[in-house]
Amino acid sequence: MSASLDLLERAKVAAAKAYAPHSHFQVGCAMLTAQGNIFTGCNVENASYGLTICAERNAIFHAVAEEGPGMKIATLAVIALGHEFPPCGACRQVIAEFATPEMTVWFLREGKPVSMTMAELLPAGFRI
């Protein structure tokens, strides 16, 4: 669990850097890849809301840019400052693209770290 606490703390640091003037939801993500690298990301909003990028996708895209298209997520943590929730549906689908169904996602519930597998978070994800 110490690795998950480290990722949650890194996600919190990333969330503090979020650009969220529209929703005021500052979200951060930290993830460990199968290669042992840690990547972080924060949400970056835009006045044209469809152009906003979530923290999870920001971190994943950065990891792919660094490790290449074979990048795999070992575990991932997400924090929203002042709020508690798991990744949104769009992010769940993107996470699933780079993870196994058994990969764990960490977030806070009632102030405590909890984890769910991708299979629990996205039981019927899109696959081609």
Please pick, among 9, 45, 56, 84, the residue that the annotation labels catalytic. Answer: 56
Spatial CA neighbour of 114 closest among 73, 78, 74:
78
Structure tokens at 96: 């699933």
The yes-or-no answer on residue 56 being catalytic is yes
The answer to whether 63 and 71 have CB atoms below 8 angstroms apart is yes
Tokens 């690795």 correspond to what residue? Answer: 3
What is the C-alpha separation between 49 and 2, in angstroms, rounded? 36
- Distance from chain centroid for Cα 21: 20
- Distance from chain centroid for Cα 126: 18
Residues with catalytic roles: 56
